Structure 1
Amino acid sequence: MAIDALSRKAGALAVIAATGLSLAFIPAPALAGTPAHRPPAPATAGVQVADAPDVPKLPDGLSALSWAVTDAESGSVLAAKDLHRRLPPASTLKTLFAVTALPKFAADSVRQVSAADLEGVGAGSSLVGVTEGGSYTVADLWRGVFLRSGNDAVHVLASMNGGWDATAREMQQKARSLGAEDTTVQSPDGYDTPGQVSSAYDLTVFARAGLANADFARYCSTAQADFPTASGVTRIENTNRLLSGAGGMTRYPGIIGVKNGYTTNAGNTLIAAARRDGHTLLVTVMNPQSGQANGVYKEAASLLDWGFESVDKAEPISSMTRAVAQSPQVQPAAHTTQTDERGGSPWRDALALWAGGIGATVLAMGAAVAWRLHARRRAAAARRPEVP
């Protein structure tokens, strides 16, 4: 019977592969059936970087309270400052909101917004312009979240997800299941709330998990889109200046996107992903202290530059390999406006992840099942009496 159960499990894996469902999109804890735990926080605070030959010097002018440079494919942290320091995340916490809620609703489903949906939107919140009585597709709402950091759109989606408090609890559970132990969720939109914190490590985990989802990859890489209004549509632009190239910044070469944020308590925060020469890097920057205009973008860009020069040289100082079963391999965002639900290369490349990685994953799991079967047969044979 035990062998039959294992055979059925192996058959289920074959069905998953045959239907094209990607194990790349499933967090490792879901595959293993046990919660993931991150490596322990480093014993010493401050900047950590591999002391290896040919690793370039870190860029000058880094003033952020915490930051991290991570190889998105391997999960290796190449350098960091106070990797697990708990700080207010601002709207970068919306990455965890998206990882939690985005897979639940079809992009073309429509929500007519009620007054209850918008109840509790914080004073001074960033808004995309959702109005009571208006009808919006789920895709419209997610573009409002990713491009304009719209807390109004977050409130509507959270209402669809069972309510504000229920969504906060679910996000907390999702964070722990991904091995993100520095995060406390109080407000799903990242609004300044007492006790709400995350870390450069955890925010990188959320971005990594998100980029393994085709819809997340598409939304976070969209520079401009149309958003419905009572009088028609309006054009909205992504507030991530490394992606849009607006506000005095130049669009970063190979940029994929992800999420920026700002609140009074958090200062400026940013998770930026870029791809170059076959490598995808994630840089998370929390609360630069320099006071420079665009400081968070300038520091993130300089860390990305350092990371691309160091990715084949630096030994990792930490790892988050258990956070996602298969690392993201999306392509840089095309320098075009993306508004079509089926347009834009980044999400197509993310959707194609299973083709590149699922074979190895299924073969490895199949080998594990076969080994267990073999071991059980040997144990059974050992228990049988020898026949003269």
Structure 2
Amino acid sequence: MHGSSPLSRRAVLGLAAAASPLVAATPAHAATVVGGARLARPGVQGTGLPKKLTAAAWLVADGDTGEVLASCNAHKRLAPASTLKMLFADTVLKKFDRSERYKVTDADLADVPSGSSLVGIKPGITYTVEQLWQGVFLRSGNDAVHVLSHMNGGIAKTVAEMQARAQDLQALDTHVVSPDGFDHKGQLSSAYDLTLFARHGLKNADFRGYCHTRTANFPAGGKKTFQIQNTDRLLTGAWGVKTYDGLIGVKNGYTSHAGNTFTGAATRDGRTLLVTVMHPTSGYNAVYEETAALLDWGFGKGSSAVAVGSLVEPLSEGGARATPSRKAVRAAAGAPGAGAGSPSGWRLLEGAGGTVALLAGGVWALRRRRKDQGEHTG
């Protein structure tokens, strides 16, 4: 009897190790509604908003006060595509002087995913850091992202730093797998988090300058250069999109899995608004058209709108840590007021609970085995 315990000490310790990250990770996006419980509700939050919005999620916020003026599925976790490069820039931008020069090697480009958007970086050519960032912001070049990541100590180190920055910004819907935003299983963010990245990034003058640059000359080897143009159509007016008056930037993205995503910022009469639009279902220009419509609303009717939430401040800059409440847990878990399509917090908690229950059973079995052994030898 004493030799038939179903779990050994090693098995119990293994289950404990497996259970720990699951339990620890659950509150990050399932139990904590960052920015206010109303942002966890499904559908549109706000009144008098533009009709015919097709995006799966969107958000309008005042860039100065941090007030969220309106939203739709603010915390819904979706593939971010290249809008994740805003977090990359906010994490790495300050580490290198813009005049620093770097000669690219084959190894710097070896891990660029096939099918990536590229600015056209070539091994053996020396680039300034400023040129590399122009490649990131203007052409959304994954090759430029990977070169800067290798300068930063490698892809794994950069991803870890980006995840740490997201946690500091309290962007708890975000899970970083690669620094470039390319499609990877589990790489997710939300309209709320992308807006946090933009707001914090725009505080940096270089970030603001790069995302507002329309064209730049890029090295082609020797003394030759070629011109690159910003892919933000609200900034450049490309592909039939009308430029938006007062637009600052910031970043667009597209992959076959994520569809179109965009975070834009504009200033009028001394007031700055941020808009994030994710995964619209109509038209190739819809992400820009819907962003423009939401900006128009924000500068118009949104001026007197009652806030539905707020953009929180980074923990490192004195922001109050978001703490779960019973209402927030229910909202994030799929109870009335939960975001449509968002992950069920209770399902995650049930998964963690199942693991803990299994662990508890193992501990009980181990203790029982020891008791039986003690009774037998005594």
Report the counterpart of residue 92 of structure 1 in structure 2: 83
TM score, norm. by length of structure 1: 0.71
**In the aligned structure 1, how far is the partner of 2:37 from the partner of 2:130?**
38
Q: 1:45 aligned to 2:37?
A: no
Kindly report the root-mean-square deviation, in angstroms, between the aligned alpha carbons of the 2 structures.
Answer: 1.6
Report the counterpart of residue 148 of structure 2 in structure 1: 157
**In the aligned structure 1, how far is the partner of 2:99 from the partner of 2:155?**
22
Give the drift of 1:68. 0.3
TM score, norm. by length of structure 2: 0.73
Question: Alpha-carbon deviations, 1:181-226, whole Å to 9, x = none?
Answer: 0000001100000000000000000000000001000001001111
Q: 1:246 aligned to 2:242?
A: no
Give the drift of 1:37. 8.8
Query: Counterpart of 1:236 in 2: which secondary structure?
Result: strand
Report the counterpart of residue 315 of structure 1 in structure 2: 306
2:138–2:214: 8 Å Cα contact kept in structure 1? yes
1:74–1:321: 8 Å Cα contact kept in structure 2? no
Query: Counterpart of 1:274 in 2: which secondary structure?
Result: strand
2:63–2:199: 8 Å Cα contact kept in structure 1? yes
Question: What amino acid is aligned across from residue 41 of structure 2 in structure 1?
Answer: T
Q: 1:264 aligned to 2:270?
A: no
Give the drift of 1:119. 1.4
Give the drift of 1:135. 0.4
Report the counterpart of residue 281 of structure 1 in structure 2: 273
Give the drift of 1:277. 1.4
Question: Alpha-carbon deviations, 1:266-297, whole Å to 9, x = none?
Answer: 1000000000011100000000011x131110
2:58–2:277: 8 Å Cα contact kept in structure 1? yes
Question: What amino acid is aligned across from residue 309 of structure 1 in structure 2?
Answer: G
1:112–1:136: 8 Å Cα contact kept in structure 2? yes
Query: Counterpart of 2:304 in 1: which secondary structure?
Result: coil
**In the aligned structure 1, how far is the partner of 2:36 from the partner of 2:287?**
27
**In the aligned structure 2, how far is the partner of 1:40 from the partner of 1:75?**
12
**In the aligned structure 1, how far is the partner of 2:73 from the partner of 2:149?**
32
Structure with the higher helix share, 1 or 2: 2
Q: 1:178 aligned to 2:197?
A: no
**In the aligned structure 1, how far is the partner of 2:87 from the partner of 2:189?**
10
Query: Where does the alignment leave 5 or more consecutive residues of structure 1 unmatched?
Result: 1-35, 52-56, 327-388
Give the drift of 1:123. 1.0
**In the aligned structure 2, how far is the partner of 1:158 from the partner of 1:293?**
31
Question: Alpha-carbon deviations, 1:283-340, whole Å to 9, x = none?
Answer: 00000011x13111000000000010134301111111424959xxxxxxxxxxxxxx
2:36–2:310: 8 Å Cα contact kept in structure 1? no
**In the aligned structure 2, how far is the partner of 1:39 from the partner of 1:68?**
12
Give the drift of 1:44. 2.2
**In the aligned structure 2, how far is the partner of 1:298 from the partner of 1:312?**
20
Give the drift of 1:40. 5.0
1:224–1:236: 8 Å Cα contact kept in structure 2? yes
1:205–1:323: 8 Å Cα contact kept in structure 2? no
Q: Counterparts of 1:110-189 in structure 2 under 5 Å? A: 110-189=101-180
Query: Counterpart of 1:148 in 2: which secondary structure?
Result: coil
Report the counterpart of residue 208 of structure 1 in structure 2: 199
2:36–2:309: 8 Å Cα contact kept in structure 1? no
Query: Counterpart of 1:247 in 2: which secondary structure?
Result: helix
2:247–2:265: 8 Å Cα contact kept in structure 1? yes
Query: Counterpart of 2:313 in 1: which secondary structure?
Result: coil
Question: Alpha-carbon deviations, 1:30-71, whole Å to 9, x = none?
Answer: xxxxxx99335544211101x5xxxxx211210000000010
Aligned length: 284
**In the aligned structure 2, how far is the partner of 1:199 from the partner of 1:264?**
18
Give the drift of 1:120. 1.1
1:143–1:225: 8 Å Cα contact kept in structure 2? yes
Q: 1:233 aligned to 2:225?
A: yes
Question: What amino acid is aligned across from residue 42 of structure 2 in structure 1?
Answer: A
Identity of aligned residues (%): 55
Q: Whose Rg is larger?
A: 2
1:71–1:311: 8 Å Cα contact kept in structure 2? no
Q: 1:193 to 1:109 in 2, by over 3 A?
A: same
2:35–2:312: 8 Å Cα contact kept in structure 1? no
- Kindly indicate whether structure 1 or structure 2 has the higher relative contact order, using CA contacts under 8 Å at least 6 residues apart: 2
**In the aligned structure 2, how far is the partner of 1:134 from the partner of 1:236?**
17
**In the aligned structure 2, how far is the partner of 1:256 from the partner of 1:103?**
20
**In the aligned structure 1, how far is the partner of 2:261 from the partner of 2:153?**
28
**In the aligned structure 2, how far is the partner of 1:239 from the partner of 1:293?**
13
Query: Deviation above 2 Å: which 4+ runs of structure 1?
Result: 36-44, 323-326
Question: What amino acid is aligned across from residue 63 of structure 2 in structure 1?
Answer: A
